[in-house]
Amino acid sequence: MKTLSTGEIAKLCDVNLRTVIRWIERGALKGFKLPGRGNNRVRVEDFIAFLVEHDIPIPPELAGDDNRRVLIVDDEPAIARSIQRVLRSNGFVTDVAVDGFQGGTKLMKDRPVLMTLDLSMPGLSGYDVLSFVRETPEISGTKIIIISALGSDALQKAMDLGADAVLTKPFENDQLLECVSGLVGVQTRSILEEE
C-alpha cells in the first residue's frame, strides 16, 4: 500500500475522519481524489512531510521507511561480523544479536526490513523462530534469510515455514548481497494491518 485513505490517517493522527478531509480540502495536507466517489488518497511521502512540517511525531508503523535496516542473528561472532561487513559496505544499516533473546528484542524494537537467521543456534530452533515471527503481526512482514550448513531437506522446511530465502554455508559475499538486495528492493510493507 503506497497511499493512505482518510480513515487510515484519521486513526494515525487520532482525529476524526471528517477533519482529515477538511485538511485535504484546505490544502494543508496534499492529497488527490480517486475517480468514482472521489475518495481521497494521500501518498505516504506527502503524509510524512505533513507530519514533519507540523512537528507531529511519526507513528512507528510509518517510520519503517528506512528500508536498509538489517538484523543479523548469529551466535558466531566471526560469521556475524563477516555478514555485517558485506552489508554495511553496501549501504545497509546493520545490528547483530548474539542470542535468541537479543534477536527478539531487537527485531521488535528496531523493526528491520530484513533479518538473517542462523538456523542452528544452540537452544534456539530456527524453525520455531520462523513460525513465531510469521504469526506475530508486528513483525510478520520481516524478510528472513536463513543461513545454514544443513542439507536441502532442512532448507526446504525453512522455506515452507516462511523463510524468504536460504543461504548455505559457506557462501560468497556476492550471493549474500544479491539475496538481500533482491528481497528489500521490491519490499513494500502494508501499514495498517496490525489493528
Partner DNA sequence: CGCCTAAATGTCATGTGTTTCAGGTTAGTA
Partner DNA sequence: TACTAACCTGAAACACATGACATTTAGGCG
Applying CB under 7 A, which residues contact DNA? 5-8, 15-23, 25, 34-40
Residues 93 to 112 in contact with a second copy, rule: CB under 8 A: 98-109
Which helix (H) or strand (E) segment holds residue 117: the answer is: strand 114-118
144 binds a second copy (CB under 8 A): no
Residues 61 to 80 in contact with a second copy, rule: CB under 8 A: none
Nearest approach, Cβ of residue 33 and a second copy (Å): 7
Number of residues in contact with a second copy under rule CB under 8 A? 47
Report the residue number, 16 or 125, with the smaller CB distance to DNA.
16
Q: What are phi and psi of 121, to 5 degrees?
A: -100, 145
Q: Where are the alpha helices (DSSP H) in the chain?
A: 6-13, 17-26, 44-53, 60-63, 77-88, 100-110, 126-134, 152-160, 173-185
Exposure string (b/e) for 134-147, b if CB count within 10 Å is 16 or more? beeeebebbbbbbb
Residues 25 to 64 in contact with a second copy, rule: CB under 8 A: 26, 28-29, 32-36, 41, 43, 50, 54-57
Which helix (H) or strand (E) segment holds residue 31: the answer is: none
Residues making contact with a second copy (CB under 8 A):
1-3, 13-15, 19, 22-23, 26, 28-29, 32-36, 41, 43, 50, 54-57, 98-109, 121-125, 128-129, 132, 136, 138-139
